Amino acid sequence: MTKLGVNIDHIATIRQARHALEPDPVAAAVIAELAGADGITIHLRGDRRHIQDDDVRRLRETVTTRLNMEMAPTPEMVRIALRFRPDQVTFVPEKPGEVTTEGGLDILKNRKAAASAIRELQKGRLEISLFIDPDLAQVDAAAELRVPMIELNTRSYAEACPRSPDLDRATVQRELNKITAASDRGAGLGLKILAGHGLTYRNVRLISDIADIVELNIGHNIVARAALVGMARAVKEMLQAMGRH
C-alpha cells in the first residue's frame, strides 16, 4: 500500500496572497489527516512565500501522522528544523525566483554541503530524506551519505503526461523506466523510496504501482481540487486514484 503525504504549501499560498489569516494550513492538515492522509508535508522556503515559521510550530503541535519538512540544506533551515523537530526533513534545492522546485539535489556536486547538514540533523536525531532526480549516480551518492530514504523527482514523468499517460506512451514509458531503475537501485542499497512532484489524479497510478515506492508526496493537484470540492474529498479521491479504497 503506497502512502500519501499531502503537501499543504498552497493553502498557505492562498492565505499569503492577501496576508490574511485564512485559509489556515493547520485546518487543512487536520482535514487531510481525517480524510486518510498518511502524512503532512510543508516546504519552508528561504523567501517565506507560503509556509511561515509559526506555521511549522503550530503544525508540529497539531499533526498526528508524520510531519515532513522540506527545506534547503542551509544553516538557517538546519537551525529551524532542530528547533521544531519535524518527523522527517527532506533536503531540496532552492533557487531564488523559481516557481517550484526545479530539480533534485545534485549530490555529486554538493556532497560536502549536504554531508555537513545531514551530520547536524543526525546529531539531533532527525530522520532525513534527499530529493533527487531518478539518476543512478545520484542514488548511489545518496546511499553513500547514509540517509535512510530518498524521494525521486517525478517532474519529468509528470511533464511527459500533463493530461493522460495514454496520450504519449513512448515518452512516458522512457521516464517511467528511469524512475523504476532508480527505485530498484535505491531499494537494493537499503533505502526507503519515496517519490513526488507534479503528480496528478490522472498520472499517479503508474507511479503508485511501482512496488519499491512506498510513499508519494503530492501538493498542487490536491490543493487545486480542494479549492473546488473541499480538502477531504480531494484527499480521498487521490487515495482512490492511487488504488487505495
Active site residues: 43, 70, 197
Q: How many CA atoms lie within 13 Å of 10's alpha carbon, on the beta-carbon side?
A: 15
Q: Is 198 in the site for ligand PXP (CB under 6 A)?
A: yes
Q: How crowded is residue 185: how many other Cβ atoms within 10 Å of its Cβ?
A: 20
- Give kind and range of the element (H or E) at residue 22: none
Binding mask 154-183 for ligand PXP (x = CB under 6 A): ------------------------------
Three-state secondary structure call for residue 5: strand
Task: Kindly tell me which of 170 and 203 has the beta carbon lying closer to ligand PXP.
Answer: 203
Q: Is 101 in the site for ligand PXP (CB under 6 A)?
A: yes
Cβ proximity of 101 and 131 under 8 Å: yes
Q: Is 80 in the site for ligand PXP (CB under 6 A)?
A: no
Query: H/E/C letters for each residue in 57-98?
Result: HHHHHHCCCCEEEEECCCHHHHHHHHHHCCCEEEECCCCCCC
| Sole binder of ligand PXP in the list 37, 56, 72, 92 (CB under 6 A) | 92
C-alpha cell at 37: 492522509
| Sole binder of ligand PXP in the list 220, 232, 233, 237 (CB under 6 A) | 220
Minimum separation from the CB atom of position 232 to ligand PXP (A): 18
Q: Which stretch binds ligand PXP (CB under 6 A): 30-38, 73-81, 137-145, 217-225?
A: 217-225
Q: Is 100 in the site for ligand PXP (CB under 6 A)?
A: yes
Q: Is 196 in the site for ligand PXP (CB under 6 A)?
A: yes
